[in-house]
Structure 1
Amino acid sequence: MIKPVLISAFCVAAFLCGLSSAQFYFPNEATDVPNFGRCITPNRERALCIVLDDCKYLFNLLLSTPLLDSDRLYLSRSQCGYQNGKVLICCPDRYRNFINIPSVTPTTQAPPATPSNLLPQPGQCGNVLSNRIYGGNVTKIDEFPWMALIEYTKPGGRKGHHCGGSLINSRYVITASHCVNGVAIPSDWSLTGVRLGEWDTTTNPDCEIDVRGEKDCAPPYSDVPVEKAIAHPQYVPESRNQFHDIALLRLTKSVQYTDFIRPICLPASANLRSATFDGIVMDVAGWGKTETESTSSLKLKAEVAGVPISKCREKYATEKILLESTQICAGGKEGVDSCRGDSGGPLISLDNTKKALSYYFLAGVVSFGPTPCGLDGWPGVYTRVGDYMDWIQETIQP
């Protein structure tokens, strides 16, 4: 679903502000480029879905510095898929031959499937799709579209969701190992699926009222069976320390990306793998689902700041719990922390080092915290995803 956007909200480039279009493109020059079907732009224009490189106006807009938030939102909502690792964009005819743009030859063949290119790259993942509202604790309907609910089948065929996860490509979800083989998971439960595209667990489809007072609805959620649950081989379920609390869920089929189902990026670069996150404000989000409880029907979020591991070690040592560098501590404010997240759900950080392409990446996986959660002075503990990039890339398959 592509949601309508007021044109005035994007009145930043000359074309969008209603200046003469003849100043910016060649309307009569024929352009023969591969297309992948018809589409509707965020401004409700009929267009063709083509490789971003072939849509000269939008390609140039992406490279502009600084990239305005309104332009970033328009670009994100104009995406219409991927082909051979290339982003596809919903491109009106007049955008194709924008003046003074260097020619880019699109790739004609997909590269061999290797672990490194099985993961989407920035621009394909972690998109800042939603015009989010800061300071609130309820997410917007399309915020954090990589979030998943983990489904368990219980005796008698009953099903329930008791953990969270994050979509990282079309076939894999990352969650916590304790959601796969943890001691709190009853032995007669089977991890059988994931739910994607969810926002309000009491409705289907989900709808919210937009800024114009109109009802804006998402497509129905998607329940996808899990083919294989892969707990980290060094995870020890009975350990109080919960080292290596990370797992991969392979889905039975590839999922189709939409505005409401998209992958999050992983911390693949060297600087993100080794980042400390001390004092960095991040998001933790979810429905508050744990192995035994559920606290919200709406997807919630909270801002948490990274806490130095040395300080966190001192706190948890009083409970005879050891922490190591493969774990991140964040939060510690009363009533916040992972109470608004799910076991196995994401700790989300924003990489904005490249101004033309800011994106969200998965800094951590919700592991454990104090009981009851959200105690003042007790940060939540997360598995540091950057330390497990080699394992992830070695484990995932086409």
Structure 2
Amino acid sequence: MSLSLHSPVLLCFFFTTFIVGQTFPEIGSTCSMKDRSDKGICTPIKKCQAVISDLKAGINPTVCYLYNGTGVVCCPTEPRTSVKKCMKFTEILTTSDGPVPLLPPKFLESEEMEKEVQCNAILNELIVGGRDAKLDEFPHMAALGFETKDDDLIWGCGGTLISEDFVLTAAHCIDSKL
């Protein structure tokens, strides 16, 4: 037989040998997160809450491999910094006996603070003109709506998503006129 007839057979043989010789990570083995320096563990996708949250936010996971039609993904071993900070702040707020000061004690005793408290702040509209934002132009921004006594909805403020659970907004958002 000529070599040209054996070429597809040889190619198939070498390809199969190459694939069989490859080692795929096992469930529980370490992996590296794409686009991050974080390490993770290969975990079935249904058992990795961080990846499920990312998928809901439109972030694709790092896939270790597919097993019986189920994705095995690189699940982070450490929560993201935003999650750690939220857990820390939640612990502080839920375990404190009284109000939690937002400023250090020395600042509250300063003369500058007294001056700021004594001045009369007048809330004025600061946005003049402007334009409507385009869809997805500011993905980390949120519009905050308030229900009126007449069951209407007023979009009175905006905010910034600072984690999966919290929106940071300005103090004037709680003005009584809303």
One fold, TM greater than 0.5?
no
- Higher normalized helix content (fraction of residues): 2
TM-score of the two chains, using structure 1 as the length reference:
0.18
- Higher normalized strand content (fraction of residues): 1
TM-score of the two chains, using structure 2 as the length reference:
0.36
Please identify the structure whose Cα radius of gyration is greater: 2
